[in-house]
Amino acid sequence: MCAKLILEDNTEFEGNSFGFEKNSSGEVVFNTGMTGYPESLTDPSYKGQILVLTYPLIGNYGIPSDEKDEFGLEKFFESSKIHVKGLIVSDYSYEHSHWQAKKSLGEWLKEHKIPAITGIDTRALTKKLREKGVMPGKMILNSKNIDFEDSDKKNLAAEVSCKTPVEYGSGKTKIALIDCGAKNNITRSLLLRGASVLKVPWDFDLFNSSRKFDAIVIGNGPGNPKHCEKTIKTAKKALEAEIPVFGICLGNQILALAAGADTYKLKYGHRSQNQPCLEKGTKKCFITSQNHGYAVKKDSLPENWESWFVNLNDNTNEGIRHKSKPFMSVQFHPEAMPGPLDTAFLFDRFLKIAGEKK
């Protein structure tokens, strides 16, 4: 079935449908990773977005089962559902082969009612998004027309956050994980290191609750961090109480806003598994997995705060920390999934601080 992707500037790309046949609208973004589409499609940070995969061959290893791990988390996915508004690829592999595969990518997308188009010139599309910046687009698969959707105006974190607190594990150090769209592997990374996790909604008031915790992790999530006003308020209270805080991705931006710094939208964001990040004050460069469209303004950090990591591709901020107190955050994903685990040691470092502050 013929299908179209139409950008807000009226540029059109034609291809063929291989997912669920419905029209869809969202912000068009691109990811340059070579593998990891099951994890990426289930990453809540892609809520409201049409995802373009630049690697030309997609679907060749199929989709694994939805089995759970020992903690009750999806073993191969980052959440229980697909969050993208649609998928765009150059060459979809209708035949797949992998020992863990249970179905094809196309079958999986149809189950979750997600449209997808193959046969698009993703190189030309990505060049346009790099030059003009990410923009709204719509996927047209039938005769009905739809409007462009501006996801920046929505509080997307509220849409993907859990609705009630959930507890995992029984470790002595209890981490409150603020769920703005947190990936499964953040929870798993904490549990595997012996902590227990209290996952709470984005707007949960930890400080007017009977729930006990030793430290806070602010997870990743979609959209503009300034919409997460209640999360920022909670982070401010944590800073005042000097409770250890570790932010990841959106959590980096929220911690910065709580500290009094500012954030801004990147032209086309960072979405890949090979972003080089330098730890400032050292000669250590780490290859990181990333998925974000906003960043912290480095020159807006208040006194007693400092830039911790910097992106070596474009010199943007990749992390902040307080100079003397246990507050820190990174823009990249130390939990990976997909991508390298080069920075997973940051969980160990934070849990050591959290344990010492008990």
CA distance 291 to 282: 25
**CA-to-CA distance for 148 and 24, rounded, in angstroms?**
9
Which pair of tokens denotes residue 357? 């502050």
The angle, 0 to 180 degrees and rounded to 10, between the axes of the packed helices 345-356 and 184-191 is: 60
- Residues 6 or more apart in contact with residue 160 via CB below 8 angstroms: 44, 47, 79, 83, 180, 181, 221, 222
Q: Are strands 49-53 and 86-88 parallel, antiparallel or unpaired?
A: parallel
Catalytic residue selected from 227, 292, 322, 333: 333
Burial class (CB in 10 A: 0-12, 13-18, 19+), 303: exposed
Looking at residue 233, what DSSP letter applies?
A: H
Around Cβ 312, how many Cβ atoms within 10 Å? Answer: 14
**How far apart (Å, rounded) are the C-alpha atoms in residues 195 and 324?**
24
- Rounded CA-CA distance 315/21 in Å is 41
Which CA distances in Å does 311 have to 47, 86, 201, 290, 316? Answer: 24, 29, 30, 11, 5
The single residue of 249, 270, 277, 318 carrying the catalytic annotation is 249
- On the 0-12 / 13-18 / 19+ scale of CB atoms within 10 A, 281 is exposed
Active site residue 249: yes
CA distance 106 to 265: 32
| Angle at alpha carbon of residue 294, lines to 289 and 295, rounded to 5° | 80
Beta bridge partners of 103: 63
Number of CB atoms found within 10 A of residue 332's CB: 28
Residues carrying an active site annotation:
249, 333, 335
